[in-house]
Amino acid sequence: MANYELKRHKTSDKIKWIIAFLLIIGLIATTVTLFVKLDRQTTVTEIGAEAYMIGTLDAEGAEADGDTSIVTRNAITTDGLTVEIADDAEVTYTIYFYGSEDEFISKTDALTEDFDGSAIPENAETAKIVITPTADEDGKVDLTEVIGYAGQVTVTVNR
């Protein structure tokens, strides 16, 4: 009888160790899955056509009167700033860079290629994008054309 009790006790210990081992494996798998899901979450924001208005910026980065281009209503962060332009785009874009206190720093030339963010000035905190059509029939941008021109340029930033 004592032998039976000892065997039952050993079997009980094995079951406890198996359960503990499975719980630890499950905890590790859950933790890894959680980290992978968090890492895959979208961390960028695409700037849509609603962020633009008809207007332009002067050589000093200040808003100027004009209806030949569109400009972002508000400055966007330079953190993770990239710009992709459509292959068949009929626009150019210029990026104006501003410091932490909205002081103008510099601007790019009129770009017709993608911008990967490598040319952002070190002290630039925000930017505004000016999109200028190259083949506009009347030379002026009207409200119905804003979405079309903005859609040819994809601007993304980190959240």
Residue 128 has pLDDT above 60, yes or no: yes
- What's the N-to-C CA distance of the chain in angstroms? 70
Neighbouring C-beta atoms of residue 152, cutoff 10 Å? 17
Asked which of 76-85, 102-111, 132-141 is least confident by mean pLDDT, the reply is 132-141
34 within 8 A of 41, measured Cβ to Cβ: no
pLDDT tens per residue, range 16-56:
888 999 999 999 999 998 888 777 665 788 999 999 999 99
The answer, as to whether pTM is greater than 0.85, is no
Domain spans, the chain: 1-41, 44-158
DSSP strand E in the chain: where? Answer: 44-47, 52-54, 56-57, 63-64, 70-72, 76-77, 82-85, 91-98, 104-107, 126-133, 153-158
